[in-house]
Structure 1
Amino acid sequence: MEWTGVRYADGPTVEVDGRISASPERVWELVSDIGLMPALSGELQSVAWLDGASGPAPGARFTGRSRHASLGEWETTSYVVACAAPREFAWAVGDPERPSALWRFSLAVQDDGGTLLTQWMRMGPGRSGLSYAIERMPDKEQKIVFVRLREFERSMTATVAAIKGLAEGTSTVTEVRA
């Protein structure tokens, strides 16, 4: 992906995908299970549904606690903005009208019955922890954004690979966490 010269206000995106030899229904079980996501992420530490929700539905909210060596620790509230089993699960971090990030899993059935899983994210337009780093070092904004996008790309690639292993039965959650 090409991110040279990209600024936060541009709403930069990252997208990764992978073919999985499992039905979209099986893959959906994994991508819509927010409780699984901390096991697949080096940054996301914990999640919890809010307001009595026990699973994804449009408008449902959940908290996420994250940690990053350069950005510290933080908590966010996310809103499910799309939930169409077994095709799409998306959430906005912070204000759904002006999120600090928008995340989406898309699932497409393949001719062989497997699934093409795509994970996509967009930074902004709302403020995030990255906004504060950019304000402290405005002359380094493009580098800050580039580095963060590369981190997201690596993490998302690992997430899709972990979901593939879990869906195909070639790995377990315990192995994924290691």
Structure 2
Amino acid sequence: MEWTGARYADTPTVEVETWIDAPPATVWALVSDIELMPDMSEELRSVAWLDGAAGPAVGTRFVGRSEHEAFGKWETTSHVIEYEPESVFAWAVQDPSEPSAVWRFRLRPKDGGTALSQWMQLGPGRSGLSVAIDRMPDKEQKIVFVRLREFERGIAATLAQIKRRAEA
């Protein structure tokens, strides 16, 4: 687990990896089914494909509805920006040319199973976190650090759920 950057403008990132005792195809079926994600996330409440899409492909979009004690409820539209079956699935939140966040699952065969990582980047586009930073610019580094730690814990919990389901 690691995170880099201290200010929002630095587009700080966090990544967590786990090993799963299941083949990449089994793990892929879980990570590429976005409608399963609300069951494995503390913040994400619902997800639905847009524009008639039935699943991920580069250029498809989905809407996610989330909730957080400090930020309230919000809705975002994400754009699939990378999609290679059994390898990588990534999406940009809001504007793909200046996303408020980018999320990525990466899979690779390892030791008879699958190494699965989830990575996310804050910014460079504005997000709900930007509003908090605008209100308390002197606390920007702390706000970013706390949010990255929340994402780190959330990602670790999501990967644990995927591991549990894939190994069942």
TM tier, smaller: over 0.9
Helix, strand or coil for the counterpart of 2:95?
A: coil
* Counterpart for residue 23 of structure 1: 23
**3-state DSSP of counterpart to 1:121:** strand
2:134 alignment partner in structure 1? 135
Q: CA deviation at 1:143?
A: 0.5
Paired residues, number: 167
1:64 aligned residue: 64
Q: Percent identity?
A: 65
Counterpart Cα distance in 2 of 1:28 and 1:95: 26
Q: Report how far residue 151 of structure 1 moved.
A: 0.1
Relative to structure 1, the CA distance from residue 98 to residue 2 in structure 2 (aligned partners, 3 Å threshold; closer, same or farther) is closer
Q: Does 1:93 align with 2:99?
A: no
Query: 1:111 Cα shift?
Result: 3.3
Residue 51 of structure 1: SS of its match in structure 2? coil
What per-residue deviation string (whole Å, max 9, x for no partner) do you get for residues 106-131 of structure 1? 0000132x000000000000000000
CA-to-partner distance for each residue in 1:47-81, whole Å, 9 max, x for gaps? 00000001000000000000000011100000000
CA offset digits 1:12-53 (Å, max 9, x no partner): 000000000101011000000000000001100000000000
Flag as ranges the 4+ runs of structure 1 deviating above 4 A. Answer: none
Matches within 5 A, 1:10-89: 10-89=10-89
Distance in 2 of aligned mates of 1:142 and 1:108: 33
Determine the C-alpha separation between the residues in 2 that align with 1:111 and 1:22. 10
Correspondence for 1:108? 108
Q: Residues 131 and 168 (structure 1 numbering): CA distance in 2 closer, same or farther, change over 3 Å?
A: same
Q: Give the letter for the 1:164 counterpart.
A: K
One-letter amino acid of the structure 1 residue matched with residue 144 of structure 2: V
Matched residue type, 2:100: S
SS at match of 2:70: coil
Q: Given residue 65 of structure 1, which amino acid in structure 2 is its aligned partner?
A: R
Higher strand share: 2
CA distance in 2, matches of 1:152, 1:160: 12
> Any gaps of 5 or more consecutive residues in structure 2?
none
Show structure 1 runs of 5+ residues with no match. 170-178
Residue aligned with 2:27, SS: helix
Q: CA deviation at 1:2?
A: 5.5
Cα distance in 2 for residues equivalent to 1:8 and 1:117: 26
| Distance across 1 between alignment mates of 2:129 and 2:117 | 24
How far apart are the structure 2 equivalents of 1:83 and 1:37? 17
TM-score of the two chains, using structure 2 as the length reference: 0.97
Task: Provide the secondary structure at the position in 1 that maps to 2:57.
Answer: coil
